């Protein structure tokens, strides 16, 4: 089962390296990873999709929280959340099957971005499962190329730590 971790980190060079190195070194596989800005310019947000088991996910969270640059790690799998992925697909197309492809695109709320001789490019923004279903629907026509953004996710309820700036984090005790 895929698990989705939201990792908020300092917006600094090299942080992606530290996070991905932690996954590599501990033998955790990354299915997709996106990095994006947040409302706080000092903080970046990573959405990591992994195929960890629950106990490995706790372990991954602990290893990530060893990193100085990591603010918080949240496993979204256990809470109601929203997930979106963007796919661009190049599919074989002939003038004869254009109507069918356009109709499929409409059903999946996809957009036809380009029509070329022999192929067209459609893009869709949806949940990963829905994109997979769209791909299956397109497969009989002949898939030529696929690009996917990787998941971006958010819990339905507000995630406190993900949006707080560093200085507002709860004070830790020093020994």
Partner 1 sequence: MEQTGAQILWECLQREGVEVVFGYPGGAILPVYDALEQQSSVRHVLARHEQGAAHMADGYARASGRVGVVLATSGPGATNLVTGLATAMMDSVPLVAITGQVPSGVLGSDAFQEVDVTGITLPITKHNYLVQRPEEIAPALREAFALALSGRPGPVLVDITKDAQLAKATLDWEAAAPTRHLRHLPPEVPDGQLEEALAMLGASRRPLILAGHGVSLSGAAPALKAFAERARVPVACTLLGLDSFPAGHPLFLGFMGMHGSPWTNLAIQDADLILAFGMRFDDRVTGDPRTFAPHAKKIHVEIDRAEVGKIIAVDLALQGDLRNVLERMQPGLEPTRSEDWLEALERMKAPFVRDPQPWPPAPSAAGMGPIEVLRILADQCPEAVWVTDVGQHQMWQAQVMRHSRPHTLITSGGLGTMGFALPAAIGAKLACPDAEVWVVAGDGGIQMNSQELMTLTQEGLKINIAVVNNSSLGMVRQWQTLFYQDRRSAVDILSPDFVLLAQAYGLEGRRARTGAEALAAVQEARSSPRATLIEFVVDTEAAVYPIIPPGAKLEDMLHEPSLPSPFSR
- Report the nearest approach of partner 1 to the CB of residue 155 (Å): 21
Q: Are 23 and 66 in contact (CB under 8 A)?
A: no
- Contact with partner 1 (CB under 8 A) among 51, 65, 111, 168: 65
Part of the chain binding partner 1 (CB under 8 A), chosen from 28-36, 63-71, 122-130, 141-149: 63-71
Q: Using CB under 8 A, which residues numbered 3 to 32 contact partner 1?
A: 13-14, 17-18, 21, 25
Q: Please say which residue, 65 or 114, places its beta carbon nearer to partner 1.
A: 65
Three-class secondary structure of residue 168 per DSSP: helix
- Report the nearest approach of partner 1 to the CB of residue 58 (Å): 7
**Beta-ladder partners of 123:** 88, 111
Stretch (H or E) spanning 41: none
Write the CB contacts of 60 (distance below 8 Å, at least 6 apart in sequence). 5, 22, 23, 26, 28, 50, 52, 73
Strands 70-75, 43-50: pairing kind: unpaired
- Contact with partner 1 (CB under 8 A) among 42, 79, 82, 166: 166
- Report the nearest approach of partner 1 to the CB of residue 166 (Å): 7
Strand order in the sheet with 70-75: 30-37, 43-50, 3-10, 70-75
- Contact with partner 1 (CB under 8 A) among 42, 54, 62, 146: 62
Q: Please say which residue, 100 or 169, places its beta carbon nearer to partner 1.
A: 169
Binding positions for partner 1, rule: CB under 8 A: 13-14, 17-18, 21, 25, 55, 58-59, 62-63, 65-71, 166-167, 169, 171-175
């Amino acid at each position: 089962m895929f698990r989705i971790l939201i990792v908020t980190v300092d917006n600094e060079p090299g942080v992606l390296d530290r996070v991905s190195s932690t996954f590599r070194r501990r033998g955790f596989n990354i299915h997709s990873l996106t990095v994006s800005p947040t409302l706080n310019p000092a903080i970046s947000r990573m959405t990591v999709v992994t195929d960890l088991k629950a106990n490995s996910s706790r372990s991954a969270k602990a290893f990530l929280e060893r990193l100085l640059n990591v603010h918080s790690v949240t496993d979204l799998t256990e809470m109601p959340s929203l997930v979106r992925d963007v796919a661009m697909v190049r599919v074989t197309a002939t003038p004869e099957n254009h109507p069918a492809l356009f109709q499929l695109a409409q059903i999946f709320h996809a957009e036809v971005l380009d029509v070329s001789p022999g192929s067209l490019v459609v893009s869709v923004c949806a949940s990963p499962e829905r994109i997979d279903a769209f791909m299956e629907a397109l497969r009989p026509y002949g898939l030529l190329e696929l690009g996917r953004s990787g998941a971006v996710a958010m819990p339905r309820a507000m995630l406190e730590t993900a949006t707080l700036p560093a200085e507002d984090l709860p004070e830790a005790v020093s020994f």
